[in-house]
Amino acid sequence: MSQAQVQCPHRREGGEAKHIALKEVRIALAGNPNCGKTTAFNEYTGTHQHVGNYPGVTVDKKEGFISLDGTEVLMVDLPGTYSLTAYSQEEIVTRAVLAPEKVEEKPLAVIDLVDTSALERNLFLTVQIMEMGLPVVLACNMMDEARKAGIHVDTELLGKQLGIPVVGTVARSGEGLKEALRQAVAFGRRSGTPLDISYGQDLDPVLVRMEHVLLENKVLTDRYPARWIALKVLENDSEILKQLEKTPNVAARLRSERETVAEHLRNTLQTSPEAVIADYRYGFIRSVLRSGAIRQESARDRLALSDKLDKVLTNTLLGPIIMLAVLYAMFQLTFVIGAYPQGWVEDGFGWLGDTVSGLMPDGFLKSLIVSGVIDGLGGVMSFVPLIIIMFTLVAILEDFGYMARMAYMLDRVFRAFGLHGASVMPFIIAGGIAGGCAIPGVMATRTLRSPKEKLATLLTLPYMACGAKLPVFLLLVGVFFPENPARSMFLLTLAGWAAALIMARIMRSTIIRGESTPFVMELPPYRIPTLRSVITHCWERTWMYLKKAGTVLVAVSILIWASMTFPTLDPEQAAPMETRIAALQEKVDALAEDDAARAPLEEELASVQAALSEAELQNSVAGRLGMAIEPLTRPLGFDWRTDVALLGGIAAKEAIVSTLGTAYSLGEQDPEEATSLAERLAQDPNWNKGTAVALMLFVLLYSPCFVALVVIRQEAGSWGWVAFSMLFNTAFAYVVAAVAYRIVMAL
Ligand code: GDP
Ligand code: MG
């Protein structure tokens, strides 16, 4: 187990500037979820990773360089885990970093960050890392809170008991972090014997025999300590068992050892090896803590305040009511406050379009810039103020610790639908509180332990009202249900939830059948959110939206514009109308501003222009495609322009409104008098409440967007589920929208 000087294979760019070859070491940062790891990592490396008062925010491992007294340290931020079994993605990632396939990638030491106020639970992971044979430095984090709570830690005594360095830290302020790192580098260079604790008279002899078999056959022992492998076999660890299968005779012997002792434990103590192992680990931890290293002074502390708050906020009766009230308040706040800046942005883009339109000569370029780029971008950007407000509110709730309570309260509801309390965060990120995005939502399902619950979650979360669908809703609600926009939006969000939950239930009793797993998430103590954290959160999400808007959407918008403009109308067909327009225009221009004969002429001119635009659009690629599918969507009340927009929406949902905008502004009689899209829809006889409801439901439920599909492929592991998402969701949306259309039209 020696790992003296680890050379890092990939050095940071720009390292040539330093002439002396620096020593590079790898230090891993481990800990339970929500113990402050990301905060510490950011403090160490000066980066701005997402910090959240919600377990399971970090799933991927992240790396960063720090130099410390001439040593270059590569710090690896591990996902938060409570344990090192192979149940979840985080645990598997963590194990792979602690015991990598390539020996040279093994960390020199681990800084294990623990929440000092919850040492007993946190040390469960510490013990397991030590059993893996890695030198561990214990960073007792959130010392500030512990102090306030009257918890006194004798770090020296605790260190002596555990046989490792212990440092008190406050990740938020950086206190103690450097010291912890220094200790880790120093300790890593001299230590490396795995922790060896007793697992009692039943298991100890079995462990020794198994270790013997492993060492004799040199199976996996270059990667893990033999005793640790033996423990994992006793815990029935699927990953280790799979690796052992490569040497079938060894695997068979170990399995038979496990079966014998498991049988014995069942008969004598009605228990299992896993349970005995956990009991002894906790027993070891308790004996360490009883040594006097930890003293609790008073109960008048923040945790008690947290508990008091929880009595109200998670109360069986009051809790759900407060939760709904909070969600509803978020809506009202967002839409009432957001209406102002949204109007300014819209006006701004309107002005820009008019100005550019006035400056440029007529032609394709003008059409491209005004109808393709400015209109497209305007539709997307006007939504940014709402996103900012919504995300600020979400960030505050998340940092405050309320999101975790929502997960806790909703766990029972979710369970009834075959999901898990931990599905809540993915759903909320995806737009459970309208304004999220399915892409990070799908990625957040990695925190779910059971693959089946994960699959059910990620397949149903695209039904949520994501930020990109909101402009469609806002537009249609504004035109057809202006009496109470907030209520309509709230109902749509609920419709998304209902669809997701019902579908999840159906899937969990048909195509993804299986057991449900218990809820194991911690409720973090309530904390006052920091300004920096709220801003970082909000900015990250807004930036993601802007990036998408700025790249994919402009490209999509241009593509759609092109498909709506080309091929151009046959000159033979266009010429007669164009001549008439020119002739009419001439007559109009010849008349004085207030001439009574002007009005009927202008009317005629407008109708000919509209006929021409219509003919042009119908002749284009998009128009032909839209018209080809128009008969199909007639039961929903959609015409071919809507169909074109919906096709664009598969590329990115944001494209729906911008495409509609382009479609209608291209069909406009007079660009000088360009009415807004909302006014156009209000006047159009093809549009009514039924069409609006059908379109909103269709957009809510139909195929996820292109990028979401790519992430679904990643997380679900097969293109089959991608095809399912596209086809099934679209078919489902079709049926729901058709039924809704019938109902509204009948009313
Ligand atoms: P992670 O899940 O382990 O990555 O934890 P985060 O870094 O996301 O932190 C969780 C929450 O704890 C955030 O609200 C942090 O601001 C807060 N936090 C982190 N370290 C400390 C600390 O030392 N003291 C206090 N009071 N809060 C902390
Ligand atoms: Mg984190």
36-59 residue pLDDT tens: 998 899 888 876 555 554 444 444
105 lines ligand 1 (CB under 6 A): no
- pLDDT given at position 249: 93
Q: How far apart are CA 586 and CA 580, in angstroms?
A: 10
Three-class SS of residue 18?
coil
Beta bridge partners of residue 74, listed in sequence order: 26, 65
- Atom nearest to 77 CA in ligand 1: 4
Q: Specify the range with the lowest mean pLDDT, choosing from 155-159, 378-382, 627-631.
A: 378-382
Q: In the CATH scheme, what is the homologous superfamily, with its name and number, of domain 3-188?
A: P-loop containing nucleotide triphosphate hydrolases (3.40.50.300)
Q: Which of 707, 711, 701, 710 is nearest to 733 (CA)?
A: 701
d(CA 538, CA 544): 10
Whether the link from the prior residue into 462 is cis, omega within 30° of 0, is: no
Q: What does DSSP assign to residue 70?
A: T
**Of all protein residues, whose CA lies closest to atom 15 belonging to ligand 1?**
36
Over range 182-198, report the average pLDDT: 87
- From CA 468, how far away is CA 737, in angstroms rounded? 19
Asked if residue 671 lies in contact with residue 486, where contact means CB atoms within 8 angstroms, the answer is: no
| Whole-number pLDDT of residue 324 | 83
Please work out whether the CB of residue 34 comes within 6 Å of at least one atom of ligand 1: yes
Q: Which of 172, 522, 531, 536 to mutate to test the pocket of ligand 1 (most atoms within 8 A of CB)?
A: 172
Name the residue type at position 599.
Answer: A
- Tokens 């006007």 belong to residue: 382
CATH of domain 200-296: 1.10.287.1770
Q: What is the predicted pLDDT for the residue at 467?
A: 82
- Cβ of 80 closer than 6 Å to ligand 1, yes or no, is yes
Of the candidates 659, 569, 661, 582, the one whose C-alpha atom is nearest the C-alpha of residue 615 is 569
Q: Is 448 in the pocket of ligand 1 (CB under 6 A)?
A: no
Residue 35 Cβ contacting ligand 1 at under 6 Å:
yes
Neighbour count for residue 535 (Cβ, 10 Å):
12
Confidence of residue 372 (pLDDT cuts 50, 70, 90): confident
Query: According to the per-residue pLDDT averaged within each range, which of 94-98, 507-511, 649-653 is highest?
Result: 507-511
Nearest-10 Cα torsion for 428, 432, 434, 440: 40
Rounded Cα distance between 329 and 345, Å, is 24
d(CA 545, CA 432): 17
Q: How far is the CA of 700 from the centre of ligand 2 (A)?
A: 31
Q: Return the pLDDT at 1.
A: 36
Q: Does ligand 1 come within 6 angstroms of the Cβ of 56?
A: no
> How many CA atoms, within 13 angstroms, populate the side-chain half-sphere of residue 642?
22
Is 168's C-beta closer than 6 angstroms to any atom of ligand 1? no
- What is the 3-class SS of 93-118, one letter each residue? HHHHHHCCCCHHHCCCEEEEEEEHHH
- pLDDT, residue 4, reads 37
Residue 258 confidence (pLDDT): 94
pLDDT-based confidence at residue 417 (cuts at 50, 70, 90): very high
For the chain, state the CA radius of gyration.
31
Q: 76 forms bridges with which residues in the sheet?
A: 28, 63
Strands 136-141 and 109-115: parallel
Question: What are the tokens at 154?
Answer: 């004798």
What is the atom index within ligand 1 of the atom nearest the CA of 33? 2
175: β partners: 170
Identify the residue with better confidence: 664 or 426: 426
- Is residue 60's pLDDT more than 60? no
What is the residue extent of each domain of the chain? 3-188, 200-296, 319-566+636-685, 568-619
Which atom of ligand 1 is least distant from the CA of 58? Answer: 4
pLDDT of residue 300: 53
Q: What are phi and psi of 295, to 5 degrees?
A: -125, 135
**Mean per-residue pLDDT, 56-70:** 70
Strands in 606-727 per DSSP E: none
Note the pLDDT of residue 253: 94
- Give distance in angstroms: CA of 544 to centre of ligand 1: 23
pLDDT of residue 15: 39
When mean pLDDT is compared across 205-219, 224-238, 353-367, the lowest value belongs to 353-367
Query: From the CB of 145, is ligand 1 less than 6 Å away?
Result: yes
pLDDT at 434: 67
The pLDDT score that the predictor gives to residue 49 is 58
Task: Give the model's pLDDT for residue 548.
Answer: 66
530 three-class SS: coil
Tell me if 602 sits within 8 A of 655, measured CB to CB. Answer: no
Compute the C-alpha angle 432/438/441, nearest 5°. Answer: 75
Task: Convert the pLDDT of each residue in 1-35 to its tens digit.
Answer: 333 333 333 333 433 333 344 568 899 999 998 89
Instruction: Give distance in angstroms: CA of 41 to centre of ligand 2.
Output: 9
141: Cβ below 6 Å to ligand 1? Answer: yes
Task: Work out whether the CA dihedral 436, 437, 438, 440 comes out positive or negative.
Answer: negative
The highest-confidence range among 116-130, 188-202, 441-455, 579-593, by mean pLDDT, is 116-130
> Whose CA is closest to 197, among 257, 131, 273, 290?
131
**What pLDDT, on the 0 to 100 scale, is given for residue 77?**
87
Of ligand 1's listed atoms, the one at least distance from the Cα of 113 is 3
Residue 177 has pLDDT above 50, yes or no: yes
Strands 151-153 and 294-296, by their bridges, are antiparallel
343 alpha carbon – ligand 1 mean position (Å):
38
CA atoms within 13 A on the CB side of 539: 10
| pLDDT tier for residue 309 given thresholds of 50, 70 and 90 | confident
Pinpoint the alpha helices (H) of 31-118.
37-45, 89-98
Residue 516 predicted with pLDDT over 80: no
Of all atoms in ligand 1, which is nearest to the CA of residue 34?
A: 2
Q: Which of 286-295, 379-388, 667-676, 677-686 has the lowest mean pLDDT?
A: 667-676
pLDDT at 615 over 90: no
Give me the pLDDT at residue 667, please: 53
Q: What distance separates the 2 farthest-apart alpha carbons in the chain? A: 109
Q: What's residue 379's pLDDT?
A: 66
Q: Which long-range contacts (CB under 8 A, 24 or more apart) does 344-348 make?
A: 345/378, 345/381, 345/382, 345/384, 345/385, 346/378, 346/382, 346/676
Q: How far is the CA of 395 from the centre of ligand 2 (A)?
A: 15
Ligand 1 center to 736 CA (angstroms): 44
- Cα–Cα distances in Å, from 167 out to 277, 394, 433? 28, 34, 40
462 in ligand 1 pocket by Cβ < 6 Å?
A: no
Query: Which of 262, 198, 271 has the alpha carbon at shortest distance from 234?
Result: 262
Average pLDDT, the chain: 84
Cα separation, 182 vs 593, in Å, equals: 84
| Euclidean distance between CA atoms 579 and 371, whole angstroms | 24
Taking CA atoms only, the protein residue closest to ligand 1 atom 9 is 36
Strand positions, DSSP E, 212-323: 294-296
